[in-house]
Amino acid sequence: MKVLSITPFYGKTNIFNLKTTSFKAQNQDTFIKTGVQESSDNIDIEKLKLNPKEMLKLYQSATADKNNKIGSGFTHSVYKIPNVEGYVFRVPTDNLNKSMDFMTARYKESSEAKDLDVNVGQKVGELKFITEDNHSVTVELRQFAKGISLGIPPIQAVRNKEEYNSMENKEYYAKTIAQTASLPLEAYEKLISDFQKVYKAGYHFDHLNSNNLLIDEKNKSINLIDLDKLKMKPNYGNLLYALTNIGYFETYTSAYDSNPVSDEKKNEVTFNTMQIIDKFTKAMQKQNVKFKMDEISYEFMKFLTSLPCYCFCQTTDFNTIWVKFEQMGITG
């Protein structure tokens, strides 16, 4: 089969000012992790592992300062560790401010760091302790992965529509989409390679959270984080769904909330998303990986019926879209 490359229209057309436009993007929420860890090498983490009480004190001081917070999700928050390079604490959010019994502190190593030969923010170990109200808490010590998160907190987590639709969130979304689009093809190839390694080692990427992808502009890379120990097949449609952050596209382009953006900005986000699709599909060709018809998930279908995908493939017909991907050699 001859392998083709689709030429998407990246022209000056104002998509959002066309009276006949009937494309409908889909919506799926994600959570956010932001910030960059400032590190020093004052504390030896290996010695700290041997002293759970001292690690618990460090956890207490780290979580007491809101400036150490890298971000939060549905159930956990992530904190940088002062004076410790290359590691973070992942903490159950509902146990953050509870008093703790230092005598109960225990530390146990995790096999994740040994299982994976790529840094995906994997768990190094678990710090367990009992709170004074007799609740057991597990804090994860994880490797620090570089980059800023590609995603916006879900409305379920924010619980405030105005905050969810805020201009600050929209600007952050547009910025990270632009940064992702600007990365070289090699960054996409490495992402797919890392994705394959993760699944080969028996781990699963949570594609529902675009924040599980970090954009590292300095090192020109896209990094996976927050994996689950779960034996599944790699699904490249789900990865593309997360990478394009299609879940927030409808919110960004909506004209019906209190913070609408201009047509120019909507067009820019659409074209940047098309560039992401273009580079990802080219990386799929080079890495010889495929979309599978029998593995199309609800989220990948949302991507396939989104405006950026329609524009990239220059059609709104699902069967025609699939034929185009087939002609590119990325279905099987």
Mean pLDDT for 5-28 is 48
Asked if pLDDT for residue 34 goes beyond 60, the answer is: no
Residue 18 neighbours by CB under 8 Å, 6+ apart = none
Q: Where does 159-262 have alpha helices with state H? A: 161-164, 167-182, 185-200, 236-244, 249-253
Task: Please write the tens of the pLDDT for every residue from 289-305.
Answer: 999 999 999 999 999 99
Asked if pLDDT for residue 237 goes beyond 90, the answer is: yes
Q: Using an 8 Å Cβ cutoff, are 24 and 307 in contact?
A: yes
Residue 144 neighbours by CB under 8 Å, 6+ apart = 37, 39, 80, 85, 86, 87, 88, 121
Which pLDDT band holds residue 28 (cuts at 50, 70, 90)? very low
Mean pLDDT for 201-216 is 91
Residue 169 neighbours by CB under 8 Å, 6+ apart = 152, 153, 163
* Cα(15)–Cα(319) distance, integer angstroms: 23
If 0-12 CB within 10 Å is exposed, 13-18 middle and 19+ buried, where does residue 3 land?
Answer: exposed
Quickly tell me which residue has 């229209």 as its tokens: 9
Find the largest Cα–Cα distance for the chain: 68
pLDDT, averaged across the chain: 85
Q: Where does 262-306 have alpha helices with state H? A: 263-287, 298-304
Task: Please write the tens of the pLDDT for every residue from 136-195.
Answer: 999 999 999 999 989 776 565 556 777 778 899 999 999 999 999 999 999 999 999 999
Mean pLDDT for 236-240 is 98
Which two structure tokens, joined as six digits, stand for 225? 């984080």
Task: Please write the tens of the pLDDT for every residue from 253-266.
Answer: 988 878 899 999 99
Domain boundaries, the chain: 15-33+147-327, 45-143
Asked if pLDDT for residue 312 goes beyond 50, the answer is: yes
- Report pLDDT for 165: 84
Which two structure tokens, joined as six digits, stand for 293? 């018809």
Mean pLDDT for 123-139 is 92
Residue 168 neighbours by CB under 8 Å, 6+ apart = none
Which pLDDT band holds residue 48 (cuts at 50, 70, 90)? confident
Kindly indicate whether the domain formed by 45-143 is annotated with CATH number 3.40.50. Answer: no
Three-class SS state of 124: strand
